[in-house]
Structure 1
Amino acid sequence: MAVRDLSVLLGVILIVIMLIIPLPTAMLDFLIIINISLALVIILVAMNTKEPLQFSIFPTLLLLVTLFRLGLNVSTTRSILGEANAGNVIDTFGNFVVGGNALVGFVVFLILIVIQFLVITKGAERVSEVGARFTLDAMPGKQMSIDADLNAGMISDAEAKARREKIEKEADFYGSMDGASKFVKGDAIAGIVIVIINLLFGLIIGMSQMGMDLSTAAGTYTLLTVGDGLVSQIPALLISTATGIVVTRAASEGNLGHDITKQLLAYPKMLYIAGGTIFLLGVITPISPLFTIPISLALLFGGYFLSKNEKDDHLNEEQPEEEEQPDDMKSPESVVSLLQIDPIEFEFGYGLIPLADANQGGDLLDRVVMIRRQMALELGMIVPVIRIRDNIQLQPNEYTIKIKGNEIARGELLLDHYMAMSPGVDDESIVGVDTIEPAFGLPALWIGEDMKEQAELSGYTVVDPPSVVSTHLTEVIKRHAHELLGRQETKQLVDHLKETYPALVEEVTPNTLSTGEIQRVLTNLLKENISIRNLPIIFETLADYGHMTKDMDLVTEYVRQALSRQISKQMTTPGEPMYVITLSGSVEKKVADSVQQTEHGNFVSMDPNDSQRILESAAGETDRLSQMGQVPVILCSPAVRMYVRQLLERYLPHVPILSYNELEADIEVQSVGVVNVE
């Protein structure tokens, strides 16, 4: 067993011995000094803690110290009444400290009792009681806050566990302090009772057993009693003060001394006012200037010194960041900033700087703002801030678009040219630099200003470089919107919806579905270019089906059916029928028979030859429909829609795949092809 453990056990055993066995006066002197030292250590530790939990053993320590002090009181009372002698320490306090005047000592003792019992102990007891009640009342809210942060991905499981443990420890601590403060109150009452016993029974024993007269007995036992009271009440007063410090201590960055000096001296002008007031007291009133002038000068000098330091700190903060950079770069924490990855980055070569420089007429920043607004209206999601910067490693006229640090797209611009895209029939008189339109991969030409009007007359679509960039950026964001919607972004959307539909949100999350599961449904929709702006309908469906299954792909199918009107409008042109490619019965049967069910969800496990034939047939039909100038749409039954999507999404990612339940009844559907493998 460790020496520390043995010392605590021996200390408890010693307390029991003091209650039973008489101790020599030398041992009492030694233990009294230990009691005073222990009280000093406790109050100093209490002053240097930053938050109460750093001194979590205090309630138990308070009990042990109180019991130790009461054990000393019993031993000293035994010595006072039995031998009229309680050792050198008590005799010194009775004669030297109070000047040998028993009445003065008794008055001082009573004042200490009043201060401890009515002021410090009473206040600490009330603060402990209120602190325990408020901590217990706040526990459910704090637990819910931790669960919300965990579901939003803001903290890890380990951090959530640590925060829960801290909340539990705080509740236990304040509950224990509420009870432990009663020890201090009882100790003060016991001190009064012990003093009365020592006085009354000391007089009786002195006169009846030791042959003293009344004046001798009164003088002897009064001094010993007062000395014993002072010896016990001074450490008790320190412990009571430590109790008040601990229970009134709020979590902060420094210890008590640091916080007091920092906050009390935070306003140097107030020291000027206080110093001037004290100076006037010495001048106007009969108070001697000998005392007021030094104090007022000290306050005025302190105010001047603090004001000067405040100005110096302000000047240091205004220095350029470049001067502080070398020191910052040397610090180990400087590496943390390098870990940040921007959700979307647009980098360009130095030749394209005029695009983003407003002084040179560039409006790229304004276009980016409009793109984010457009995405909010079309897709219903908040696009993260797009980081725009130049990159000298790129070619002068080149730009790249990155999603979460990975390059997704690349393009090249000629700022003094226009991009012209053919209407299908090329005009040989239109000449320029061959290129590829970056957003859709169509062949195009870079033409000069002199060719612009002629190209427009020939039916070419002519756009300027900023429009090319903004169109490309818009399409990249649309295609990768599901990657940009994380748990934090989902939490923002849920919180926004909760402002107008609180009951709906509370039914769905966090009890039915977590933030991660809601995110899975929303990303499934965005992956197929379905807007999530109509969150109320989406959450109504989640409330209906979220408790029935944890397969979020299946829940997504229910949500798509609830959004049938939106999907139908998105896929059709007013006044025209919807041209679709259907699946033959044999293909749907093959897909349905290939579905494998697992505890993690369902997936298609089809023979590679069959899947290849289905893919080739679907690709051929969609190509044929595209050549006819129609947008290809594949239509199938609801039971197999998501499995057909799984089968084709890698090779035909931009072809919409709908089920019959996702179309409104008034939509005119015209089948122009069939996917068949026979």
Structure 2
Amino acid sequence: MEAQIRPTIAGRLGDLTLPLGILAIVAMMVLPLPVALLDAFFVGNILLSLLVLMVSLHSYRPLDFSSFPSILLIATVLRLALNVASTRIVLTDGHSGSAAAGQVIQAFGEFVIAGNFVVGLLVFAILVIINLVVITKGAGRVSEVSARFTLDAMPGKQMAIDADLNAGLMTPEEAKIRRADVAAEADFYGAMDGASKFVKGDAMAGILILAINVIGGIIIGTAQHGLSAGEAAETYVLLSIGDGLVAQIPSLLLSIATAVIVTRVSSSHDMTKLIGKQMNMSRAWVPVAGVMALLGFVPGMPNMLFIVAAAGAGAVAYFNRNNTGADDTEAVETETPEETEGQAEGVTPADVTDHAPISLQIGYGLIGMAGDGGGALVSRITAIRKDISKALGFVVPGVRIRDDLSLAPNQYRIRIGQTILGEDMIYPDRKLAIPGGGSSRKLKGIEVKEPSFGMDAVWILPHQVAEAEADDHVVVEPESVIATHISRVVTMHAADLIGPDDVRVLVDTLAQVSPTLVEAVVPKLVPLHTLTAVLRHLLAGRMPVGDMRRILEGLSEIADRNLPAAEMAEYLRPMLSPLLLQQMGPISQPIPLVTLDPELEQLLIRTRQNGGVDQGLIIENGLASTIITSLSEALEGAAGNGKQAVVVVAQPLRRAFAAFLRPHIPDAIVLGINELPETRRVEVLGVIGGAAALPRPTPQPAPQRSPVME
């Protein structure tokens, strides 16, 4: 218990450090400060300034020190508070001698400027000019320009991130991190633009405080303490200059830190290593050594110093003779020996490994469709991916687009994992014309089969579009052809795209609104791998899995039966079928059905029973061909009338019949009779089978149908 309390107390004390420190700084401006404490604060101020400068030099990129604007504000306020506190002591006790304001101010007043207040004034003026005119003004200008360009570039960076995400070049988590970095970068440079004004105002305040101390000290010394004008000037000017230098040196250090932060670029090295690598170029040091050697032989010059400098430059050039430039050095360091060897042989790990769930490989002739920022192809794929994700009920992975020189110029290839599931040829300078029911004219062009559904089509030139549309042709853009093909492939193989990580996301999302349900089912009743297998079976049967609440509630009812994942999925299908049917058409319209003849259905059921529960259908070739042909004609006829029909069979036959149709009619949706919602009307478009089509089956009574079928 004590071990748990102590970190909590330490954390709370750490959280209170900054607020208490700021209150102490404000108190220093109002309350008198002991001299010993003033010395300690002056030393701490110098320490803080040095620390900030060192952190700035050793940061790899500006965002690594994103708290710099806030630290700069706090350090500036601390320094001004010390000026106020020291001014109070100087004007109150300055007549008693140079030690009245503490040892730090005395040391700077006597040792640094050797007790000569004229020299002190000149040194202070030079430091102020360097700080205010050179460093602060330059850093402020760089901050202003950086903030402007960063804000202007922000939309483009966001679009580049979206394009990389849609192309599958990064995961959603990586995209989220990069978006946060872009926003943080804009906030940082905007804050630095304002923070540089703190340094400028601090330098100007130092000048005013020095003038107030000098003038006020002389007046107080002569009027109140009976000092002569010369004694008062010498005493108070030395104290004021010492006070000003104590404050100005930390201010100069912070100004340098500000300039370092805003002038550096992101790198994999800190500034010391970065400058060292970029300056240690042999071809740069050789001419430097030569020029210094020539100056060493000029009469009247300090020859020995120049010759020594030339020798030093020559030594640097010799020891860096293998360094031809910063880019080469970084390239050597970032490549491992294995990578260098692989590249020398022309093979890299990226050539043989691709972990993208969905990838689109394109020939070099189609690269222009993707474009630099993604182009119309990426935009179309993004829109279709969003629609598919909504329909299936889980986030479909991004599509990685890569060029492949092994493909023909106009060829593309769609892969799920490492498996090629679709490929075709398209022509980016043409459009695909698909004839409709009223088409009567044969268009000139490249005759092909539309890749998604195998319909006859023609690639026509742009000037033929009006002619094609007038003849009831549907004209499709090339990028839409690819996107539609990807949509069909992804829909048909959605079960291969969902994994435990995706299921965990769905469960965690449900846990935000139904934590008790999730806690009771996953993983107590249904392990995550079993739930993943169930969802894969549902997706293979075209069922959406977005309603995780209903899925978990259904699984909780049968968890004690120890059913296989496929049987669990069959149990859940009647609960989820309304989600599928409402995607196929308005709920006010009847569901178009194609059914099997009762005799054929009974024959298929007996075939399955004779082969075992898990055995597929064993059908004579002629009957199988008749069933497939009849179903294809019925479904195509419904599609020609603008309807997407479903095949309805008896529930015991559904899974086996769907597996039988999948290789021949992959688009067919097979439902069990129990999966039709009781609240929906149906429309029977055709009945497959009959005595003529059967090989003399034994007559069997027709199965009972739901009243809604009649």
Tell me which interval the TM-score lies in, with the shorter structure as reference length: 0.5 to 0.7
Query: Which residue number corresponds to residue 29 of structure 1?
Result: 39
Q: 1:610 is aligned with what amino acid?
A: E
- 1-structure distance, mates of 2:451, 2:337: 57
Query: Which residue number corresponds to residue 639 of structure 1?
Result: 638
- 2-structure distance, mates of 1:47, 1:87: 32
- 2-structure distance, mates of 1:642, 1:38: 76
- Cα deviation for residue 229 of structure 1 reads 1.0
- 1-structure distance, mates of 2:162, 2:89: 61
Comparing 231-240 with 248-257, greater Cα deviation is found at 248-257
Query: Which residue number corresponds to residue 290 of structure 1?
Result: 304
- Cα deviation for residue 537 of structure 1 reads 7.7
Query: Which residue number corresponds to residue 279 of structure 2?
Result: 264
C-alpha contact 1:505 1:539 (8 A) present in aligned 2: no
- Cα deviation for residue 518 of structure 1 reads 10
Alignment of 1:76-87 (within 5 A): 76-84=86-94, 85-87=100-102
Alignment of 1:211-610 (within 5 A): 211-265=226-280, 267-307=281-321, 486-489=358-361, 496-498=368-370, 505=377, 508=380, 510-511=382-383, 531-534=424-427, 560=453, 564-565=457-458, 598-599=579-580, 610=601
Secondary structure of 2:225 counterpart: coil
**Offset from partner CA, 1:262-281 (integer Å, 9 cap, x none):** 1111x212212111211211
- Cα deviation for residue 121 of structure 1 reads 0.9
- 1-structure distance, mates of 2:432, 2:357: 17
Alignment of 1:118-133 (within 5 A): 118-133=133-148
Go from structure 1 to structure 2 and tell me whether the alpha carbon gap of 1:193 and 1:100 turns closer, same or farther (over 3 Å shift). Answer: same
- 1-structure distance, mates of 2:219, 2:358: 84
1:620 aligns with 2:622: yes
- Cα deviation for residue 113 of structure 1 reads 0.5
C-alpha contact 1:617 1:676 (8 A) present in aligned 2: no
**Offset from partner CA, 1:448-476 (integer Å, 9 cap, x none):** xxxxxxxxxxxxxxxxxxxxxxxxxxxxx
Q: 2:601 is aligned with what amino acid?
A: D
**Offset from partner CA, 1:603-643 (integer Å, 9 cap, x none):** 99977963976998894178799xxxxx9996443435886
Query: Which residue number corresponds to residue 497 of structure 2?
Result: none
- 2-structure distance, mates of 1:502, 1:252: 27
- 2-structure distance, mates of 1:338, 1:106: 67
Query: Which residue number corresponds to residue 153 of structure 1?
Result: 168
Q: 1:90 is aligned with what amino acid?
A: I
- 2-structure distance, mates of 1:539, 1:12: 70
C-alpha contact 2:127 2:248 (8 A) present in aligned 1: yes
C-alpha contact 1:28 1:72 (8 A) present in aligned 2: yes
Go from structure 1 to structure 2 and tell me whether the alpha carbon gap of 1:271 and 1:597 turns closer, same or farther (over 3 Å shift). Answer: same
C-alpha contact 2:140 2:196 (8 A) present in aligned 1: yes
- Cα deviation for residue 238 of structure 1 reads 0.2
**Offset from partner CA, 1:352-386 (integer Å, 9 cap, x none):** xxxxxxxxxxxxxxxxxxxxxxxxxxxxxxxxxxx
Query: Which residue number corresponds to residue 201 of structure 1?
Result: 216
Go from structure 1 to structure 2 and tell me whether the alpha carbon gap of 1:47 and 1:605 turns closer, same or farther (over 3 Å shift). Answer: farther
Secondary structure of 1:287 counterpart: coil
- Cα deviation for residue 49 of structure 1 reads 0.6
C-alpha contact 2:167 2:399 (8 A) present in aligned 1: no
C-alpha contact 1:596 1:605 (8 A) present in aligned 2: no
Query: Which residue number corresponds to residue 105 of structure 1?
Result: 120
- Cα deviation for residue 493 of structure 1 reads 8.8
- 2-structure distance, mates of 1:224, 1:134: 45
Query: Which residue number corresponds to residue 58 of structure 2?
Result: 48
- Cα deviation for residue 13 of structure 1 reads 2.3
Name stretches of at least 5 consecutive residues in structure 2 with no aligned partner: 1-8, 95-99, 342-347, 389-395, 401-411, 435-448, 460-573, 585-590, 606-616, 649-654, 669-686, 692-710
**Offset from partner CA, 1:384-421 (integer Å, 9 cap, x none):** xxxxxxxxxxxxxxxxxxxx9xxxxxxxxxxxxxxxxx
1:144 aligns with 2:135: no
- Cα deviation for residue 157 of structure 1 reads 1.8
Comparing 70-79 with 121-130, greater Cα deviation is found at 121-130
Q: 1:78 is aligned with what amino acid?
A: R
C-alpha contact 1:39 1:238 (8 A) present in aligned 2: yes
Q: TM-score, normalised by structure 2?
A: 0.56
- Cα deviation for residue 108 of structure 1 reads 0.8
Q: 1:213 is aligned with what amino acid?
A: S
- 2-structure distance, mates of 1:279, 1:489: 60
- Cα deviation for residue 236 of structure 1 reads 0.2
- 1-structure distance, mates of 2:372, 2:289: 56
Query: Which residue number corresponds to residue 206 of structure 2?
Result: 191
- Cα deviation for residue 186 of structure 1 reads 0.7
- Cα deviation for residue 677 of structure 1 reads 3.9
Q: 1:278 is aligned with what amino acid?
A: M
Go from structure 1 to structure 2 and tell me whether the alpha carbon gap of 1:502 and 1:194 turns closer, same or farther (over 3 Å shift). Answer: closer
Secondary structure of 1:489 counterpart: strand
Go from structure 1 to structure 2 and tell me whether the alpha carbon gap of 1:211 and 1:502 turns closer, same or farther (over 3 Å shift). Answer: closer
- 2-structure distance, mates of 1:342, 1:6: 51
C-alpha contact 1:508 1:539 (8 A) present in aligned 2: no
Secondary structure of 1:487 counterpart: strand
- Cα deviation for residue 341 of structure 1 reads 5.6
Go from structure 1 to structure 2 and tell me whether the alpha carbon gap of 1:529 and 1:211 turns closer, same or farther (over 3 Å shift). Answer: closer
Comparing 492-501 with 166-175, greater Cα deviation is found at 492-501
Alignment of 1:647-662 (within 5 A): 651=660
Go from structure 1 to structure 2 and tell me whether the alpha carbon gap of 1:277 and 1:168 turns closer, same or farther (over 3 Å shift). Answer: same
- 2-structure distance, mates of 1:249, 1:524: 43
Q: 2:27 is aligned with what amino acid?
A: I
- Cα deviation for residue 651 of structure 1 reads 4.7
- 1-structure distance, mates of 2:103, 2:159: 60
Q: 2:86 is aligned with what amino acid?
A: T
C-alpha contact 2:414 2:422 (8 A) present in aligned 1: no
- 1-structure distance, mates of 2:662, 2:48: 75
Query: Which residue number corresponds to residue 168 of structure 1?
Result: 183
Secondary structure of 2:114 counterpart: coil
Query: Which residue number corresponds to residue 75 of structure 2?
Result: 65
- Cα deviation for residue 519 of structure 1 reads 6.9
- Cα deviation for residue 15 of structure 1 reads 0.8
Q: 2:369 is aligned with what amino acid?
A: L
- 2-structure distance, mates of 1:493, 1:129: 44
Q: Give aligned pairs, total.
A: 466
Instruction: Indicate the percent of aligned positions where both proteins have the same amino acid.
Output: 36
- 2-structure distance, mates of 1:539, 1:205: 94
- 2-structure distance, mates of 1:40, 1:524: 57
Go from structure 1 to structure 2 and tell me whether the alpha carbon gap of 1:657 and 1:120 turns closer, same or farther (over 3 Å shift). Answer: closer
- Cα deviation for residue 286 of structure 1 reads 1.7
1:94 aligns with 2:109: yes
Secondary structure of 1:132 counterpart: helix
Q: 1:598 is aligned with what amino acid?
A: L
C-alpha contact 1:619 1:652 (8 A) present in aligned 2: no
- 1-structure distance, mates of 2:45, 2:578: 73
- 1-structure distance, mates of 2:185, 2:34: 43
Q: 2:279 is aligned with what amino acid?
A: L
- Cα deviation for residue 503 of structure 1 reads 8.3
- 1-structure distance, mates of 2:199, 2:178: 31
